[in-house]
Amino acid sequence: MRGKRVTFPGMAVPAILLAPQLAVTFVFFVWPAIQSLRSALFRQDAFGMSEEFVFLDNFIKLFAEPDYGQAFGLTLFFALATTVLSMGLALLFAVLADGVVKGAAIYKSLLTWPYAVAPAIAGVLWWFLFNPTIGIFSRALAAIGIDWNHHLNSGQALALVIIASAWKQLSYNFLFFLAGLQTIPKSLLEAAALDGADGFVRFRKIVLPLLMPTTFFLIVTNLVYAFCDTFAVIHATTGGGPGTATTTLIFKIYRDGFESLDLGGSAAQSVILMLLVGTLTIIQFRYIERNIHY
């Protein structure tokens, strides 16, 4: 990791500057994280009255479960689908909103503010919209002959959690794409238009390459979001079912650890998720480092 070429001398000042961040990180993050990761190697009762070192037992048990491999594959699919849907629509809306003159401000603010909805509330809203009996969407679907019951139909359940999760993240992506688009010099596009390139060619040849850094950043952010921050939505809409059709890794961690108090098993799952997310974050960071020219 690089620093500045021109720097300030001294040790005391940076130490003071870093102290608050490091103190908070150590006390409220590193220490508790070590505690919970440590429990991946133990078998413990919920109250912490007794524990037994079991080494890698928790991991072995995990991989012996046929469901775990399935949850892994499901999570990858879910994360990819959520990312593609959310980013694709966000890019489309951003390009369109950037291109129109009338009403642009209204579109922009209306597309932005679902960002403010809390995950805990988003789950409740989607529960309402797709409720097989009273939901507005399921009634609309029934009108065109689709019998919607995500409690019974795995495909529909998966579609529901993907749509709801993508919705929650769409505003965020939209903002980033919009900001990215606004850094593209208009003169460049006008020059291309004069050369006879039509809208789609301009988009593919100029806009898309210039948006690449944004896109890359968002891909990683969205994947991490789908891996880590979607349990509230799944919890409120499908509860992981039907069967295990929507039991993703983070949902399983939450259910096994927080609800069932299987601390060892849930910690082992966390370690694996952490490796996954950590790898993604490091890739992202490396990429940002390489692509920003100072």
Partner 1 sequence: MKSLLSYTALVAGLSTLSPAFAQTEVQFWHAMAGEMGQRVEKLASDFNASQKDFKVVAVYKGTYPEVMTGAIAAFRAKQPPHIVQVFEVGTATMMSAKGAIYPVHELMKEQSAPFDATAYLPAVSGYYSDVKGNMLSFPFNSSTPILYYNKDLFKKAGLDPEAAPKTFADLEAYAKKLQAAGVPCGFTTEWPSYMQFENFSAYHNQPISTKENGLAGLDAELKLNGPVQVKHLQNLVDWQKTKVFDYGGRGDSSKPKFFSGECAMTVSSAAARLGIVTNMKAEVGMALLPYYADVQGAPQNSIIGGASLWVLRGQKPADYKGVAQFFAYLSKPEVQAWWHQETGYLPITTASYELSRSQGFYDRNPGTDVAVKEINLNPPTENSKGLRLGNFVQIRAVIEEEIENALQGKKTPQQALDAAVTRGNELLRQFQKSNS
Partner 2 sequence: MSSTRFRIVASHAALIIGTALMILPVYMAFVASTHDLSRSLTGLPLWPGAHLIDNYGQVLGEGMRSYGLPPIGPMLFNSFVVALAITFGKIAVSILSGFAITYFQFPFRILAFWIIFATMMLPVEVRILPTYEVVAGFGMLDSYTGLSLPLIASATATFLFRQVFMTVPDELTEAARIDGAGPWRFLWWILIPMSRTNIAALFVITFIYGWNQYLWPLLMTKDVSYYTVIMGIQRMARASDFQPQWHLVMATVILALLPPVIVVAAMQKQFVKGLFETEK
Report the site for partner 1 in 115-174 (rule: CB under 8 A): 127, 131-134, 149, 151-154
Burial of 213 (0-12, 13-18, 19+ CB in 10 A): middle
Tokens 């507005």, located at residue: 136
Structure tokens that stand for 77 in this block: 């699919």
**Pick from 274, 234, 272, 238: which is nearest to 254 by CA?**
234
The answer to whether 98 and 182 have CB atoms below 8 angstroms apart is yes
111 touches partner 2 by CB under 8 A? yes
- Cα–Cα dist 151/154, whole Å: 8
7 touches partner 1 by CB under 8 A? no
Q: How many CB atoms lie within 10 A of CB 258?
A: 12
- What is the smallest separation between the CB atom of 9 and partner 2, expressed in angstroms? 8
**50 backbone dihedrals φ, ψ, rounded to 5°:** -145, 150
- What is the smallest separation between the CB atom of 242 and partner 1, expressed in angstroms? 4
Q: Which is closer to partner 2, CB of 158 or CB of 252?
A: 252
27 touches partner 2 by CB under 8 A? yes
**4 backbone dihedrals φ, ψ, rounded to 5°:** -80, 155
Q: Which is closer to partner 1, CB of 92 or CB of 142?
A: 142
Q: Which of positions 186-245 make contact with partner 2 (CB under 8 A)?
A: 199, 214, 224, 228-229, 231-232
Termini Cα distance of the chain: 14
50 touches partner 2 by CB under 8 A? no
Residue 286 touches which of partner 1, partner 2, none (Cβ within 5-8 Å per kind): none
- Cα–Cα dist 245/218, whole Å: 26
Residue 73 touches which of partner 2, partner 1, none (Cβ within 5-8 Å per kind): none
Q: Which of positions 18-77 make contact with partner 1 (CB under 8 A)?
A: 20, 43-49, 52, 61
Q: Which is closer to partner 1, CB of 131 or CB of 230?
A: 131
- What is the smallest separation between the CB atom of 105 and partner 2, expressed in angstroms? 9
Q: Give the interface with partner 1 as residue ranges (CB under 8 A).
A: 20, 43-49, 52, 61, 127, 131-134, 149, 151-154, 239-244, 247, 255-256, 258-262, 264-265
